């Protein structure tokens, strides 16, 4: 029997933050209160002055992602290891369908890549890119098999689905308790602007952003919200980047619709000014980085509940692979690494700088993703009976983010040189210490595949 006590920290509980001790037995949280009331153990972590949060859940990462002729650098070992350094104890990746694949095939393939390599728990979303009738018929079976979330794109030739498919998918997920996740951008407008720029020789990174103005995202969000609403189907907008998108979400929240949005650390920190830099192509992502006003709106959304989740969208395409587009922005693989950066960025920029409550930080990074994606209350909360997945944060530790200080295996860090105060120093995964002061102590293959089940009542009461 493994027993452990974390003593003296400020612990972020659903009811508020208090100084309490946590008793861990085997893989579970077995007690919250005072050490003198717990069974004896010598295995004591003195965490005085520290903050303990529920282990982070990152429901948006792309490990071993094949896209635009290249593959992301993070595999399921290096990716989950970097995640663990950032206080993450659960990730959800995407089982991308190849042409002709069933969803079950895609899930099987991804599991074969992940199962022996993950150092933390993981789940998968089914990504639908070849929506044949048999694939749509498969939805109910895939939900039952523990993969109840379905990602679609409204952009990218060869991957996108049309509105007819979306409606049918909403029909299926509303009936069988699934959740549709949408990468929302208006393809026709973005394509047209792109062609116009390229034909005029405007090929630099800046034109990637200019070919996708805010309206490209906002129109698509507006449309999919309308379609989802028609069938009363829950909907999740991935990586929302614009103030216009946030306005739509504010209306959805007011109307009590089961529509939720996520944003990512880079949209909260960086503007499209980076595209004017010499290394601008490294920042090519979709949707693109925006303006200061958008950053303000997104932060407001995190505070007022119009945005429910912060994920990283880690897609670790190297500088080397991005060079493919040095003469034409449309040849650059879209994506950046970031799986390790979320907690330090949100603590420093959110809690310290903007006065975000610790409870809200936990909601955005752990509780809400766990509730929306069917992992709660096993994950996403510090309470008796939950998995002992915890992150211990040193609130005064100063770190300059970048290649030297992080453990992502890429050759480029989007927040290079960014100074943060407050940093994760220990990660505990199912009762075991897997990261201690920058040293990885976990084991390849120790993570497990999580079969998830989405509870629509859980979703409807979430903010």
Interface residues with Zn ion (CB under 5 A) are: 313
Residue number with CB closer to Zn ion (53 or 315): 315
End-to-end CA distance of the chain: 38
Of 116, 68, 60, 64, nearest to 88 (Cα)?
60
Work out how close the CB of 91 gets to Zn ion at its nearest, in angstroms, rounded to a whole number.
12
Work out how close the CB of 51 gets to Zn ion at its nearest, in angstroms, rounded to a whole number.
29
Residue number with CB closer to Zn ion (339 or 356): 339
**Tokens standing for residue 328:** 């034409």
403: left (phi over 0), alpha (psi -120 to 50) or beta: alpha
Work out how close the CB of 313 gets to Zn ion at its nearest, in angstroms, rounded to a whole number.
4
Residue number with CB closer to Zn ion (138 or 313): 313
Residue number with CB closer to Zn ion (10 or 365): 365
Report residue 163: phi and psi, to 5°: -65, -30
Work out how close the CB of 411 gets to Zn ion at its nearest, in angstroms, rounded to a whole number.
20
Q: Is the preceding peptide bond at 62 cis, omega within 30 degrees of 0? A: no
Residue number with CB closer to Zn ion (159 or 361): 159
Work out how close the CB of 371 gets to Zn ion at its nearest, in angstroms, rounded to a whole number.
21
Work out how close the CB of 286 gets to Zn ion at its nearest, in angstroms, rounded to a whole number.
9
Q: Which residue's Cβ has the minimum distance to Zn ion?
A: 313
Residue number with CB closer to Zn ion (106 or 392): 106
Measured from the Cβ of residue 160, the count of other Cβ atoms closer than 10 Å reads 16
| CB 122, CB 147: distance < 8 Å | no
Report residue 180: phi and psi, to 5°: -95, 130
Residue number with CB closer to Zn ion (58 or 121): 58
Work out how close the CB of 318 gets to Zn ion at its nearest, in angstroms, rounded to a whole number.
17
Work out how close the CB of 60 gets to Zn ion at its nearest, in angstroms, rounded to a whole number.
6
Residue number with CB closer to Zn ion (156 or 449): 156
Work out how close the CB of 378 gets to Zn ion at its nearest, in angstroms, rounded to a whole number.
25
Residue number with CB closer to Zn ion (117 or 313): 313
> What is d(CA 448, CA 457) in angstroms, rounded to the nearest whole number?
26
Work out how close the CB of 347 gets to Zn ion at its nearest, in angstroms, rounded to a whole number.
23
Residue number with CB closer to Zn ion (313 or 363): 313
Residue number with CB closer to Zn ion (314 or 349): 314
Please provide the size of the chain in residues. 463
> What is d(CA 385, CA 379) in angstroms, rounded to the nearest whole number?
10
> What is d(CA 414, CA 313) in angstroms, rounded to the nearest whole number?
13
Work out how close the CB of 346 gets to Zn ion at its nearest, in angstroms, rounded to a whole number.
18
Of 329, 383, 340, 318, nearest to 24 (Cα)?
383
């Amino acid at each position: 029997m493994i027993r452990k006590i974390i003593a003296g920290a400020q612990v972020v509980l659903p009811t508020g933050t208090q100084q309490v001790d946590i008793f861990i037995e085997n893989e579970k949280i077995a007690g919250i209160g005072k050490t003198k009331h717990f069974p004896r153990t010598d295995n004591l972590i003195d965490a005085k002055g520290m903050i303990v949060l529920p282990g982070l859940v990152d429901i948006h990462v792309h490990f071993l992602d094949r896209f635009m002729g290249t593959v992301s650098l993070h595999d399921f070992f290096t990716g989950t290891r970097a995640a663990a350094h950032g206080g993450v104890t659960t990730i959800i990746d995407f089982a991308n369908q190849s042409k002709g694949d069933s969803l079950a095939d895609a899930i099987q393939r991804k599991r074969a890549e992940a199962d022996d390599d993950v150092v933390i728990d993981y789940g998968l979303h089914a990504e639908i890119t070849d929506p044949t009738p048999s694939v749509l018929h498969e939805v109910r079976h895939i939900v039952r098999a523990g993969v109840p979330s379905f990602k679609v794109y409204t952009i990218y030739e060869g991957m996108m689905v049309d509105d007819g498919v979306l409606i049918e998918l909403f029909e299926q997920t509303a009936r069988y308790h699934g959740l549709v996740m949408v990468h929302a951008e208006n393809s026709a407008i973005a394509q047209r602007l792109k062609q116009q720029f390229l034909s005029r020789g405007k090929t630099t990174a800046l034109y990637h952003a200019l070919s996708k103005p805010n309206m490209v995202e906002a129109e698509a969000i507006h449309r999919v919200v309308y379609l989802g609403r028609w069938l009363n189907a829950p909907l999740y907008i991935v990586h929302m980047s614009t103030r216009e998108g946030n306005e739509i979400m504010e209306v959805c929240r007011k109307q009590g619709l089961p529509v939720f949005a996520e944003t990512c650390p880079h949209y909260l920190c960086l503007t499209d000014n980076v595209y004017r830099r010499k290394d601008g192509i490294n920042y090519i992502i979709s949707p693109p980085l925006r303006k200061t006003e958008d950053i303000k709106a997104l932060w407001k959304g995190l505070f007022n509940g119009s945005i429910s989740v912060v994920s990283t969208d880690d897609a670790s395409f190297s500088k080397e692979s991005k060079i493919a587009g040095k003469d034409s922005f449309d040849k650059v693989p879209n994506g950046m690494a970031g799986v390790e950066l979320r907690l330090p960025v949100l603590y420093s920029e959110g809690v310290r700088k903007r006065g975000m409550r610790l409870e809200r930080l936990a909601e955005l990074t752990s509780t809400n993703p766990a509730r929306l994606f069917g992992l709660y209350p096993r994950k996403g909360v510090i309470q008796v009976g939950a998995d002992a997945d915890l992150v211990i944060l040193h609130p005064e530790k100063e770190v300059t983010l970048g290649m030297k200080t992080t453990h992502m295996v890429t050759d480029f860090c989007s927040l290079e040189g960014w100074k943060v105060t407050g940093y994760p120093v220990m990660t505990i995964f199912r009762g075991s210490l897997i990261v201690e002061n920058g040293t990885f102590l976990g084991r390849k293959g120790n993570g497990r595949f999580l079969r998830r089940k989405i509870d629509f009542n859980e979703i409807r009461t979430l903010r």
